Amino acid sequence: MGCNSKLPTGSDKMKKAIRWMSEELLAHPQKKRDTVIKDAEIRFDLSPAECEFLSKNFGESAP
Protein backbone atom coordinates (compact mmCIF):
# COMPACT_ATOMS: atom_id res chain seq x y z
CA MET A 1 0.00 0.00 0.00
CA GLY A 2 1.42 3.35 -0.99
CA CYS A 3 1.64 6.42 1.17
CA ASN A 4 -1.85 7.84 0.88
CA SER A 5 -3.31 10.33 3.33
CA LYS A 6 -6.86 10.08 1.97
CA LEU A 7 -9.49 8.75 4.33
CA PRO A 8 -10.11 5.05 3.63
CA THR A 9 -13.48 4.06 2.22
CA GLY A 10 -16.23 3.07 4.62
CA SER A 11 -15.42 6.22 6.53
CA ASP A 12 -18.44 6.24 8.87
CA LYS A 13 -16.46 4.18 11.36
CA MET A 14 -13.44 6.40 10.80
CA LYS A 15 -15.41 9.58 11.46
CA LYS A 16 -16.74 8.11 14.69
CA ALA A 17 -13.28 6.88 15.68
CA ILE A 18 -11.62 10.25 15.03
CA ARG A 19 -14.38 12.07 16.91
CA TRP A 20 -14.05 9.66 19.85
CA MET A 21 -10.24 10.03 19.85
CA SER A 22 -10.56 13.81 19.94
CA GLU A 23 -13.01 13.71 22.83
CA GLU A 24 -10.87 11.17 24.69
CA LEU A 25 -7.70 13.24 24.32
CA LEU A 26 -9.49 16.41 25.44
CA ALA A 27 -10.97 14.65 28.48
CA HIS A 28 -7.71 12.85 29.34
CA PRO A 29 -4.74 14.92 28.10
CA GLN A 30 -2.33 12.69 30.03
CA LYS A 31 -3.10 9.72 27.75
CA LYS A 32 -0.66 9.00 24.95
CA ARG A 33 -2.02 9.37 21.43
CA ASP A 34 -0.80 5.92 20.42
CA THR A 35 -2.75 4.34 23.29
CA VAL A 36 -5.91 6.20 22.31
CA ILE A 37 -5.43 5.12 18.67
CA LYS A 38 -5.08 1.46 19.70
CA ASP A 39 -8.24 1.76 21.82
CA ALA A 40 -10.11 3.32 18.88
CA GLU A 41 -8.96 0.56 16.52
CA ILE A 42 -10.50 -2.06 18.81
CA ARG A 43 -13.58 -0.07 19.84
CA PHE A 44 -14.59 0.72 16.25
CA ASP A 45 -13.36 -2.56 14.68
CA LEU A 46 -11.21 -0.77 12.11
CA SER A 47 -9.56 -2.44 9.14
CA PRO A 48 -5.76 -2.65 8.80
CA ALA A 49 -5.86 0.21 6.24
CA GLU A 50 -7.89 2.37 8.63
CA CYS A 51 -5.49 1.57 11.49
CA GLU A 52 -2.53 2.52 9.32
CA PHE A 53 -4.24 5.80 8.40
CA LEU A 54 -4.78 6.71 12.06
CA SER A 55 -1.21 5.83 13.02
CA LYS A 56 0.31 7.78 10.14
CA ASN A 57 -1.86 10.86 10.56
CA PHE A 58 -2.57 11.04 14.28
CA GLY A 59 0.16 8.98 16.00
CA GLU A 60 2.96 10.31 18.21
CA SER A 61 5.34 10.41 15.24
CA ALA A 62 2.85 12.02 12.80
CA PRO A 63 4.27 14.98 10.88
Map out the domains of the chain as residue ranges: 11-58
pLDDT at position 5 over 80: no
**pTM, two decimal places:** 0.78
Measured between alpha carbons, how far is 1 from 51 in angstroms, rounded to an integer?
A: 13
Measured between alpha carbons, how far is 63 from 20 in angstroms, rounded to an integer?
A: 21
Residue 28: its pLDDT value, please?
96
Burial tier of 52 (Cβ tally within 10 Å: 0-12, 13-18, 19+): middle
Tally of CB atoms within 10 A around 14: 20
Query: 38 by DSSP, 3-state: which?
Result: helix
